[in-house]
Structure 1
Amino acid sequence: MSSPESSRARGVDRVIGMLRQLHLAQRPLTMRELIEATGAPRSSVYELVTILAEAGWLEIAEDGSVFFGRVMHYYGSDYAQHNDLIKRSHQAILALVRKHDETAQLCTLEGNKYTVVLSENSSRPFNISSEIGVKVPIPWTATGRLLLGHLSADEIHALIPDEDFVLDNGKRVEFADFLHDIEHAAKLGYCCTEGLSNTFRLCMAAPIRDRSGATIAALCFMTSRDTDPAKRDLMLADLIGSAQALSKI
């Protein structure tokens, strides 16, 4: 690679790194924070922020902090309208929230982590949700147990970092137990977890499958563990039905 091409590639890598750090922070960052988070030279960060701000990708506040710009919202909206699964899932999630008044989400894997793609909260003051796009260890989730059903034990072991089996409360998920959960979820056709990543959280997940039958995503309900059993049954039935309607098999 020639020097100009190498320089351009570094510039692209730095832009990607800046956008990733803003997403991870979920808030505006000062220039100093952005420089420290990316490890890029100060001059490069200032130059790239100026260029991206002029293009509308970033916005610079009066205090000098930097965050995503309006144009990024337009691009995200274009993607959501173009992606058939996201478009149809959004309508399904809205219907689930309207009917049950519980937080509903579209979830999937991103690399070796779990992430929320879409989320709609309940209208109640108390709700449980995860930030869209934030990567979470797979063993912390019901969805992860559904999405790994096609992998062998060795492939799962190689995929998930050892530290990801430690929950945020310090408790460790044993690998054998995790494999059992994956197999059990595959047999049931859904997965429910209680108090896993949050003491008070109940998560229900139902698989969305492609034409080959592989699970590519999941619809999820996030609610509290004290949800009435009868309501749980109704929520789960509707969740499974919605996920099946979104599946292309």
Structure 2
Amino acid sequence: MSATARTRTSGIDRSLQVMDILAERRAPMSAYDLAKSAGAPISTIYRLVDELVEREMLSRGPDNTVWLGARLMRYGLVYRARLDVFGSAQQEMQRLVEVTGETVQICTRDGGMMLVIGMEEGEGHFRVASHVGTRVPLNWTASGRLLLGHLGDKERRDAFAASARPSATGMAETDPDRLSAQARADFENRLAVQFNASEFSVACIAAPIRDERGACVATISIVLPDRKAEERQAELARAVQGAAEAVERSLGR
């Protein structure tokens, strides 16, 4: 590989690293803090940030911090518009909020993480920490288990072994064997329920959205206070499963 190609690849990797750091922190950062987080020379990051701001991949605030840019938003909207599963699931998400009055999320897998790609808040004052763009380890959520449930036994176990992390509440399962078995059972039952694993006093009731091959490509879930989930679990389980099935029918499954 030529020196020019290596330099170009290094620049691309460093750009992606900067944007990944911002996405993980979910807040603007100074170029100095970005350099520290990336473990890169400050001069390299300053120069890179200037170039990315010029190209609208990043934006610069009045306090000289940087944030994700408008160009990324355009790319994201175009990409999301092509996702048939998201378009169909979004309609069911809105209907499910109207029917249940609770907050509903659409999630998918991003490597070893679960990613929230859609969210509609329910009535009342209940708010969850996770919102669109939030990424958490797959073992923290009901949706995370479902997203691996269709995989073969070894692949599923290996995925959990590589990605499982303790949660802030200390209640998320981390053993890959138990996670793998639970994920398969949840997927076969088309329902996963989890209490207090990622946030205290918060429950999640999720159902898988499967493609024509039977793989779980996304989930639709109801997120609500744990006490309400206990009281309404059977009702909400039927509702979320019905929503998932409606999305699958719209996709021709």
Tell me if TM exceeds 0.5. Answer: yes
Give how far 1:172 is off: 6.2
**Which residue pairs with 1:49 in the alignment?**
49
> SS of the residue aligned with 2:125?
coil
Could you list the structure 1 runs, at least 4 aligned residues long, displaced by more than 6 angstroms after superposition.
Answer: none
- RMSD between aligned residues: 2.1
CA distance in 2 between counterparts of 1:199 and 1:171 reads 9
Q: What one-letter code is carried by the residue in structure 2 that aligns with 1:10?
A: S
Query: Structure 1, unaligned stretches of length 5 or more?
Result: none
Aligned to 1:37: 37
Would you say how many aligned residue pairs link Structure 1 and Structure 2?
249
Residue 178 of structure 1: aligned partner: 179
Deviations 1:142-161 (A, max 9, x none): 11222222334432332224
> Partners in 2 of 1:83 and 1:14 — Cα distance?
28
TM-score (norm 2): 0.89
Aligned position for 1:63: 63
2:211 maps to what in 1? 210
The Cα shift of 1:128 comes to: 2.3
Alignment of 1:57-206 (within 5 A): 57-161=57-161, 164-171=164-171, 173=173, 174-206=175-207
Percentage of identical aligned residues: 28
Mean alpha-carbon deviation: is it higher for 167-176 or for 31-40? 167-176
Structure 2: which 5+ residue stretches go unaligned? none
Aligned residue type for 2:52: L
- Asked if 2 retains the 8 angstrom alpha-carbon contact of 1:109 and 1:147, the reply is yes
Checking the alignment, whether the CA contact within 8 Å between 1:138 and 1:164 is kept in structure 2 is: yes
In the superposition, relative to structure 1, how do residues 84 and 177 fare at CA in structure 2: closer, same or farther (>3 Å)? Answer: same
C-alpha distance 129-205 of structure 1, shift in aligned 2 (>3 A): farther
Cα deviation code 1:101-143 (max 9, x no counterpart)? 2111111211122221112222321222413333322221111
Q: Aligned partner of 1:137: which letter?
A: P
